[in-house]
């Protein structure tokens, strides 16, 4: 399990509507505080789009269970492969662990995001 400072929310741009569409991608947690899925939300375009790719705790093993980013990359890979952003009104989906992880940019947001903080040089 990752520390609370590790980002569990990301921003990405998916190839929806014939162009890029910005999505907020966040890991959702079950009662036992283990990842239960990934929620996709976009406020761009024709209204709000929101859907989830759900998983059972038993499905998550190894690196997937230990890294929120790896989990999100697999979920985004499935969403892009199956064009799930075009099917948002159809409800939620089940995570396909066989989906190829997405290799596009995931920008961390929220607690633990130190990517945009200025770095200080120490020493001479």
Long-range CB contacts for residues 68-71, cutoff 8 Å, separation at least 24: 68/2, 68/6, 68/7, 68/8, 68/27, 68/35, 69/7, 69/10, 69/106, 70/101, 71/27, 71/35, 71/38
pLDDT at 120: 43
Query: Using one digit for the tens of pLDDT, what is the confidence trace for 24-44?
Result: 999 988 877 778 889 999 877
Token reading at 29? 């947690």
pLDDT at 83: 85
Tell me if 70 sits within 8 A of 85, measured CB to CB: no
Q: What separation in angstroms does the CA of 91 have from each of 34, 71, 122?
A: 22, 20, 51
Is the pTM higher than 0.85? The answer reads no
Please give the share of the chain, as a percent, with pLDDT higher than 90.
31
Going by pLDDT thresholds of 50, 70 and 90, the confidence category of residue 114 is: very low
Query: Using one digit for the tens of pLDDT, what is the confidence trace for 41-81?
Result: 987 766 678 889 998 655 666 656 668 898 999 999 999 99
């Amino acid at each position: 399990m990752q520390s609370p400072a590790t980002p569990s929310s990301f921003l990405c741009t998916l190839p929806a509507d014939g162009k890029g569409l910005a999505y907020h991608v966040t890991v959702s947690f079950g009662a036992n505080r283990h990842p239960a899925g990934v929620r996709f939300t976009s406020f761009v375009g024709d209204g709000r789009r929101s859907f989830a790719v759900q998983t059972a705790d038993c499905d998550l093993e190894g690196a997937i269970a230990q890294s929120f980013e790896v989990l999100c990359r697999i979920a985004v890979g499935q969403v892009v492969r199956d064009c799930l952003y075009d099917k948002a009104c159809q409800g939620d989906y089940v995570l396909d662990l066989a989906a190829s992880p997405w290799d596009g940019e995931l920008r961390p947001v929220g607690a633990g995001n130190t990517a945009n903080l200025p770095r200080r040089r120490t020493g001479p």
